């Protein structure tokens, strides 16, 4: 019934592998606005999970690839599984913002 919570069904990349991808990928931070404003991985665009899930067709294009990041990787993993079940090409950023070793943007 809740198969979109299966953590092993989507591709994943470690947060510290993103540096070489900045500017080449669509990186979406799904945390709440206040979390995003407190510091986010460079180039990440904020679309909170509670907006992207019910209105995924409004925010995403099925012909594009998206990398989703949250604080630890748990929310983004669940969201990726859901979006994948809806036909979107998504990759989870494991480790999340808290695991990023570089400088965060504010």
Is residue 60 situated within a structural domain?
A: yes
Half-sphere exposure of 78 (CA within 13 A, CB side): 13
- C-alpha span between 103 and 8 (Å, rounded): 29
Successive 10-residue mean pLDDT values, the chain, 106 residues: 54 95 96 97 97 97 98 96 97 97 94
Rounded to the nearest 5 percent, the helix, strand and coil shares of the chain are: 35, 20, 45
CATH of the domain at 61: 3.40.250.10
Is residue 105 situated within a structural domain?
A: no
- Domain containing residue 40: 11-97
Positions marked active-site: 70
Beta bridge partners of 90: 66
pLDDT at 45: 98
pTM assigned to the model: 0.91
pLDDT at 9: 78
pLDDT at 55: 97
Is residue 102 situated within a structural domain?
A: no
Domain count, the chain: 1
């Amino acid at each position: 019934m809740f198969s979109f919570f299966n953590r092993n069904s989507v591709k994943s990349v470690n947060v510290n592998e993103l540096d070489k991808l900045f500017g080449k990928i669509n990186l979406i931070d799904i945390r709440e606005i206040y979390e995003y404003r407190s510091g986010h991985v460079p180039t990440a665009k904020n679309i909170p999970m509670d907006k992207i899930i019910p209105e995924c067709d409004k925010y995403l294009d099925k012909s594009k690839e998206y990398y989703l990041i949250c604080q630890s990787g748990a929310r983004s993993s669940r969201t990726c599984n859901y979006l994948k079940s809806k036909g979107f090409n998504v990759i989870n950023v494991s480790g999340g913002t808290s695991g990023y070793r570089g400088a965060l943007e504010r």
